[in-house]
Structure formats: structure tokens, C-alpha cells
Structure 1
Amino acid sequence: MPCRKRKEEAQATACYSWPVMVGVALNFIIGTGCLSLSKTTGNVSVVVTLLTTTAACFLVIAYGLCFPDLLARSFALLRAGWGPEKLRDRVLLPNSESAGVKNGGETCMNTSTSLQSQDIMRTENAGLGVGQYSDPNYEISTEIELRGSELAQMYLGQGGFYVYQIMNIIYLFTALWSYGSVIGSSLASVVPFTLLPDYKKNGPNDGSWSCENASKPGYPEYCVQAYAIWVCICMVTSCILIFVDLARQKIVQTFFTICRFVALALVIIFTAVAWVQSPTFTSYDGRKSVTPIVPGTEPVVGVSALASTGGQMSSIIFCQMCHQAYPGIIRPVKREHHKRLNLALYLTYVFTGLITVIFLFFCGTYLGPYSQAPATLNFKNWTGRKGDTWITQNTQNLTQEGYAKAISIIILILPPVYLFASVPNNAMTLAANIITFFPLRLQKKLYVVIPINLLSIIPALVLSIVVRDFGTIIDFGGLTGFAILILIGVMQLRSMKICKKVFAADKQKTIHTNCFHSVPLLVTAFVVCGIGCLMAIFSLLVTAIGER
């Protein structure tokens, strides 16, 4: 009995307050995607950036706010006897492990309706006509998580389940792909591998190490080799760590979360310092990286500008996406705080919107089109002196001030540090999504689990060695983000339509229903999302044929 009790306590998840939910959501959202944004502003203009930012933020807020209402409607429909039998049984007949969760004296329990009365409601109302179910229970369970894929199956059928899962898999694959790019390019730029045969043959005569831009065609072969070595090191460590549940190591995860926010803060702060020292950012190849104010001026026009606009919107979507994780984030929120779920999401997007705006308009206006992505790589050439702030290929005699060198190393090292832990964690989620395609009898077999875990890491990191352009990777990830948002919108509309059929006319709204759940606004979001998706596809095509 004591062993069983310890096992149940280990599996338990404590409820948390709505402010904690904001922190958890921010930890999911804020990451490497932000580091690609500053370059996109220089590629279009400040005016176009304002338009794309408004459109993208509208989409993520509108579809993010769908989740409390969507989950509430889904639980009410399942309690009323509508939906797949497997989901109905999970909600109406939960097992003993979900009857209540205790942790630190806190009980996380859904007590509004007894199991017996729920079963009676299901039986009595199974044959009711349209609108005759008069007392829907819209409470979101704190024990049972309705995953996004299950909601897709509930409202879109088995086909919707497969489409949603495939989009999730591609999105997570892209995230791992981008992690490999950041790890390889960051560490290759700061840690010299002067013993490489190609460096001895073709490297600089003065023994210096310069690996400036992994996405450029002229990236030296010894830099490619150093980049690949770091990605392979990450691959090996991740293939080991994926079999260790890092999510339970709270201290380690807290440390990596701090590293993430410190890295972003340092980029913002020292971009401001560099701006004071020198009004214009100069890239390593000597180009003045000035961001245009209006469309049609330098640096890009025509097809390239349109493609860059699509890429920018895609990047903003990617860096603010957390929607597929919201069911798991919302579930542990205390019942008495459910009425503040919308407020929690508003505050989440105020903060992420602020970070997005800072990187787009502040860092982007200064660093401009000729800067590197991720933005951290630019600080490799920051001297820290007024006037001659940036080292270029024509001014390689310039040296960094001691404090500037220390800061640049910290900025370059921090992203790989926290990403080394993020790779196995995200790979676990990717593997869990892939395993859902296998029959239930095979999903826990080691001969299935082990290969799937390894396959969730190796292909993405190998691809990051072949395709190193961080901006292109983020653009591709944003494209799958558009698809996930569209599916969420369809599920929201379907849930509203079904509730109108099943529930009485005065019982068709939840405590979470607001203006973002109106049909005209959701249709508008569909149109904006569709246009953004087409522009993102166009951006990737232009990049693929080399016109951008």
C-alpha cells in the first residue's frame, strides 16, 4: 500500500492559480522564435511590420481565447452524452486515480457533479431533441485533460484527428530543427576548432576563428564541420536524455527557463547600448544595415519584399504559438480561478506581444536586413566601443573590449545551454504524438517506444546540418502554425453549432464566451489566417528557387 501511495503521489499534479498559468504559458511560448524577428523588419519596412504584427497578434489572441470556451463546451457536451464513447466514458466514469489529487495539502478535485448524477444525466438526456437539454455543466475538469487531438476527433472525426496530429508532428519537428540550427551556429561561432584538417589547410594564417553566418553560401567548410560536430554532440546527449523525465527535475528546468529569459533580455539591453555607441549597425561583410520606414524603399522591393512579408508573418506566428499545449496548461488551474482564464490569456499575450514588438521594432529597426538570425550571433562582432562598434571583414584589426567580449560570449552561449535540455523534452512530445498512430497494444512496447524516441530526434537534427538557414526554418514552422490555428477555429465553430442544437436557447454560452467567439470575428480570422498561410507558402517557394 505505501508503495502504491508513493506512486500515485509521484503521478499527481498540483493545481495552480491563474497567475501561475500565465508563467507556465510564457515558458512554453517565449523561446528561440523571437531571435529571428529583428531581421524580418529590415527585410520589409516599419510600416509593413506594423500591419503584419497586428494581423498575426490578432490571430494568436483570437484562437488562443478559443480554448477555455472550447474546453468548457466539450466537457458539457460529453456530460450530456454527445461525442465519442471513449471520451464520454473518460469524463463520466473517471478512474480512481483522477478522483482527487492531493499535493502539499491542496486538493485538485472536480466536485460540482457526482458520478452518479452525471451518469443519470447522460441516460435521461440521451434521447432528447434539439435544444431540450436544459442544464449543461460547462465546468472544465481539473483531473481530465482533453487533448487537442481528442478535440479534433470529437468535432472533425477521425480524419480531423490525423490532420491535427500530423500538423503537430511537423510543428514539433520544425522546432527541433530550429534548435539544431541555433546550437550549431552559436557554438561554432564562439568555440574554435583549429585542429580540424580543413582549418589547417584553408583557415586564416593568423590563427583566428571566424564563423559568421551559417545560412550564407560562403560559410567555410571548417565552420560547417564545427557546426556539424556540435549538432552531433547535441544529438548523442538528447538520445540519452530522452529516456530521462527532465520535466520532473524542477530545479534544472527552472535554471534553463531563467537562461532563456536572460538571453532575450541581454539581446534587448545591449542592442540599446550598441545603438547609443553607433547609430548604424554594420554587418561583417561591411554593409550598413538600415531598416526602411515605408514600403518600396531600400533594401527590398517587388517579389522579394512580398516574400519577406509572408516570412515575417510566419515568424511571428511561430514565436507566439502555444495553442497545442493549452489543454494541458489549463487543466491544473484551480476551479475557483476558472472565471479568470480569459484574463490569464490576455495577460499572456500582452507580454508576448510586448516581446514581439520590442524585437520587431526596436532590435529590428537597428539591426536591419543585413544582420544575422538568430539575433544573438550579431554580438560576436560587437567591440563595445563608441564609433567603431562593429567588427567587419575590412576592420578585422579591431578588438573587443573586455566587457563586450564577456557579454557576447554569454549571449552566444545561453541559447545552446537551454536548448540542450529543450531538445529531449520536445522530442518526448513529438514521440508521444507519433505513437498515437500505433495500435493501443503496441504503444507501450519497448521495441516501438525506443525507435520512435530516437527517430523523434535524429532526422530533425540531421536536417539542421543540411539546411542551416534559421529564418527559413522558422518560416516553415509558422506555416504549420497557420494550419493548427485554422483547425482550432473550425473546432470552435463546430462546438458552438452543436451546443445550439443540444442545449436550451438560454444555456448556450459559457462563462468564457466573449466577443472573440462571435461567428463574424472567427470568419474574419479564417480569412486573415488563409491569406497569411498563402503568403508563407509563397515566401518558402521564393526562398527555394533562390529569388530571395
Structure 2
Amino acid sequence: MTFLPSFKGDKWQCSDPCSYTIQACSDSYWIWLSIAGVFSCVMIFFNLSEQKVLQSIFTYCRFALLGITCVLIIYCLSTQPYLDKSMYKEGNFVNPHTVFWGFDLKAIGSLFSSITFSQVYHHSLPSIFQPTEKKFQGKLNISIMSSSIFLALITAIIAIPGALYFANDASDLITLNFNTWTGKGFDPTAKQPVFPQIISYVIRLLPPIYVLSSIPINGLTMSVNVQQMIPDQHREKKWVQITLNLLCIIPPILLAGFSRCLGVIIEFTGLMGYIIMLAPAVVLLKAKSMCKAEFGDTKSQFEIITSKQPIIWGVIGFNLVGFVLTVYSLIAGFF
């Protein structure tokens, strides 16, 4: 995609950051990354989750992208093959490279980390873990559970058709696959008609827009929680808050400049996602143990169906297996 047409000439364009071979692409990547970094360093001092107008705009962008991408993939899956038409059976546009029954430990590990990444890292609130009054717990539990189920369904609606359609031929960032969409198929050599070109630009431009809102919110969430580990006499000092805010933004931006392949980033950061998923289960086991020692019973007035012992151990086991497979996938990717 040519974002800087007059930068180092006009005969270059960039697509997947994992396969940059043109210096101009690498330079433009750093330019836009620097712009995002400066924007995030400023916006982290304005809690975007409390800026209703801005947050509404970013939210609309995200849902517009999800809706357009989902509809477009399902439309393409039912009307046109992806790239090489000779490989597809007539009327069947499931990518022939899609493996239905194969088992690949490396692929399974990548899948685990992708699920963790999409469900954990895309959503955060600039607040800290804290006790909740019982009268608010019911609504809070329902709202969090409903949101999680809704987000999982949205992810599945895009991920499953996308995997069937693009298979191993896809870019890590699914929206980049529409760089060559002509409305009737995918042809890197053909000129895009106006309407497919507009749609193509929209679905490629919306992710950077809403990601710009996610970076400051995620950074602020991390900063607020880190501040709770600092002694009270230093926590309220302005220079401490400013320093922590910037430390939660600048290092990740710099790392993104050197590790720009989304697949590697997802697999590596997905490891932390498992810790986030495991922490509540481990804390709950500890709480049950303390209740047993103090009151002679593990049950309490706050217990719900997910507090059952088999479910807790099931969550721990599932995430430990995922963690091991992700580590294997990450190591295997270097060989």
C-alpha cells in the first residue's frame, strides 16, 4: 500500500511487514510507527476510555471493520476462488491448501497464541484489580461474561471463514489480503475498479485508526496497575506517573520497529496471555484453600458455577498445554 507516494519515488508499495524487501518500505514503516508513538505518548495522558466522542469513533471504526471484513470474506467464499483458479473445484471456493484433519504441533501452538492474543490483548480498561461490593457482582459478572462470549463469536465468524478461504496463502494480517481484490477475484496484475478499491482501502485503513486508540488505553492500564506496586509516598508524584506512562508506551513501540512480523509478535506476546488466563484460576484455588483453613469449607457467598474445582483445574490444564505448544511453535519457527 502506497501511503507516502512522493517518498523516494512513486514506483514502490508495501504489503506484509514480514516480507519487506524494499528499503523505502522499511523507512516508511519507521515513519508511521514514530507518528503512532508520538500520538500514543500524548494520548496516554488523556484517558480515552472516558472520552465518549473519541472512544465512540474508534469503536465504530472497529465494528465497521469487523462487519465489512466478515461480509466480504463470506461473499468471496461463496462466489470466487482465491488467487489460482485452476486449483479450485467448480463451485467450491474453500482454499485447497486448507488442512481439515492434519495435526501439526507448530500450527496448533500458533492457534493457541492467536486465540489468547485476540481475546485478551484487544480489550482492557484503565483500572486496577480491586474488591467489588456484592450488590454489583451479579451485573459485573453478567456483563463481562456476555462481552467475552460476544467477542469470541465475532472472532470465530471472521477467523473460521477466513481460514477456509485464505488458508496458508494468507498474510498474518487478514485485511492485507484484500490489497489485490478486484471485486471478482484476486489479481495482483489487474487494475482495481473504483468500488473494490474503495472497499480495499477502507478495510486496510480502519485497523490503524482503532489501534491508535488501543495503544494508549493498554499502556494506561499497565501503568495504573504498576503504580499500585509502588509505595504510597511515591505513587502520587507527577514525575512517577509521567515516567511510568511513557515507559509503558515507548519500549513496546521501539520493539515493534525491530520485530514487525505480526505472527511472531502474536506468538511471543501470547505467552503472557496464558499468564493472564492462569492468574485468576490460581488465585481462586488459593482463596478456596484459605477459606477451608479459616472456615472449614471452601464454599462462600461469592461462589458461582465457574468456581467449581473441576472447572478451575480444567482452565489451568488447558492453558498449560497451550503455553507448552506455543513455546514449541515459537522455537520451531526459528529453524
**TM class by smaller structure:** 0.7 to 0.9
| Maintained 8 Å contact 2:48/2:217 | yes
What are the superposed Cα offsets for residues 303-362 of structure 1, whole Å, 9 maximum, x if unpaired? Answer: xx3112101111101211279869869988993x64455544443333223123223321
Cα separation, 2, equivalents of 1:321 and 1:413: 23
Cα distance change on mapping 1:362 and 1:331 into 2, 3 Å: farther
Cα distance change on mapping 1:455 and 1:511 into 2, 3 Å: closer
Secondary structure of 1:421's aligned partner? helix
| 1:360-379 pair list within 5 angstroms | 360-379=159-178
Of 85, 98, 101, 1:291 maps to 98
| 1:432-447 pair list within 5 angstroms | 432-447=224-239
Cα separation, 2, equivalents of 1:413 and 1:448: 35
What are the superposed Cα offsets for residues 477-514 of structure 1, whole Å, 9 maximum, x if unpaired? Answer: 22111112222111111112222233365x93335421
Cα separation, 1, equivalents of 2:132 and 2:310: 32
Secondary structure of 2:170's aligned partner? coil
Cα separation, 1, equivalents of 2:120 and 2:72: 27
Question: Where does residue 118 of structure 2 map in the other structure?
Answer: 319
| Maintained 8 Å contact 2:179/2:200 | yes
Cα separation, 1, equivalents of 2:5 and 2:237: 42
| Maintained 8 Å contact 1:281/1:290 | no
Cα separation, 2, equivalents of 1:238 and 1:444: 22
The letter for the 2-side match of 1:472 is V
Of structures 1 and 2, the one with the larger relative CO (CA 8 A, separation 6+) is: 1
| 1:78-97 pair list within 5 angstroms | none
| 1:301-320 pair list within 5 angstroms | 305-320=104-119
1:349 aligns with 2:140: no
Q: TM-score w.r.t. structure 2 length? A: 0.86
Q: TM-score w.r.t. structure 1 length? A: 0.55
Cα distance change on mapping 1:419 and 1:339 into 2, 3 Å: closer
Cα separation, 1, equivalents of 2:324 and 2:52: 41
Secondary structure of 1:194's aligned partner? coil
Aligned residues: 325
| Maintained 8 Å contact 1:215/1:468 | yes
Cα separation, 1, equivalents of 2:227 and 2:45: 15
Identical-pair percentage: 28
Cα separation, 2, equivalents of 1:328 and 1:441: 18
Larger Rg: 1
| Maintained 8 Å contact 2:126/2:224 | no
Consecutive unaligned residues of structure 2, counting only runs of 5 or more, are: 86-94
| Maintained 8 Å contact 2:97/2:168 | yes
Cα separation, 1, equivalents of 2:111 and 2:203: 23
Question: Where does residue 21 of structure 2 map in the other structure?
Answer: 219
Of 191, 207, 213, 2:3 maps to 191
Cα separation, 1, equivalents of 2:126 and 2:284: 14
1:412 aligns with 2:215: no
| Maintained 8 Å contact 1:311/1:536 | yes
| Maintained 8 Å contact 2:49/2:126 | no
What are the superposed Cα offsets for residues 54-77 of structure 1, whole Å, 9 maximum, x if unpaired? Answer: xxxxxxxxxxxxxxxxxxxxxxxx
| Maintained 8 Å contact 1:342/1:512 | no
Consecutive unaligned residues of structure 1, counting only runs of 5 or more, are: 1-188, 201-206, 297-304
Secondary structure of 1:295's aligned partner? coil
Cα separation, 2, equivalents of 1:332 and 1:194: 55
Cα separation, 1, equivalents of 2:225 and 2:129: 17
What are the superposed Cα offsets for residues 402-433 of structure 1, whole Å, 9 maximum, x if unpaired? Answer: 11111111111111111222222222222223
Cα separation, 2, equivalents of 1:219 and 1:268: 30
Cα distance change on mapping 1:417 and 1:531 into 2, 3 Å: same
Question: Where does residue 314 of structure 2 map in the other structure?
Answer: 524
Question: Where does residue 64 of structure 2 map in the other structure?
Answer: 262
| Maintained 8 Å contact 2:83/2:187 | no
RMSD: 2.8
The letter for the 2-side match of 1:270 is L
Cα distance change on mapping 1:225 and 1:500 into 2, 3 Å: same
What are the superposed Cα offsets for residues 206-260 of structure 1, whole Å, 9 maximum, x if unpaired? Answer: x4442121112x4311111111110001111222222233332111111111111
1:278 aligns with 2:80: yes
Question: Where does residue 491 of structure 1 map in the other structure?
Answer: 283
Cα separation, 2, equivalents of 1:325 and 1:247: 7
Question: Where does residue 323 of structure 2 map in the other structure?
Answer: 533
What are the superposed Cα offsets for residues 355-413 of structure 1, whole Å, 9 maximum, x if unpaired? Answer: 2322332111101112112111111111112xxx1123xxx2x1112111111111111
Question: Where does residue 238 of structure 1 map in the other structure?
Answer: 40
Cα separation, 1, equivalents of 2:112 and 2:134: 35
Cα distance change on mapping 1:430 and 1:344 into 2, 3 Å: closer
1:391 aligns with 2:187: yes
| Maintained 8 Å contact 2:127/2:225 | no
The letter for the 1-side match of 2:6 is T
Cα separation, 2, equivalents of 1:256 and 1:281: 32
What are the superposed Cα offsets for residues 143-182 of structure 1, whole Å, 9 maximum, x if unpaired? Answer: xxxxxxxxxxxxxxxxxxxxxxxxxxxxxxxxxxxxxxxx
Cα separation, 1, equivalents of 2:244 and 2:126: 24
| 1:202-217 pair list within 5 angstroms | 207-216=10-19
The letter for the 2-side match of 1:371 is A
| Maintained 8 Å contact 1:211/1:219 | no
1:510 aligns with 2:306: no
What are the superposed Cα offsets for residues 2-21 of structure 1, whole Å, 9 maximum, x if unpaired? Answer: xxxxxxxxxxxxxxxxxxxx
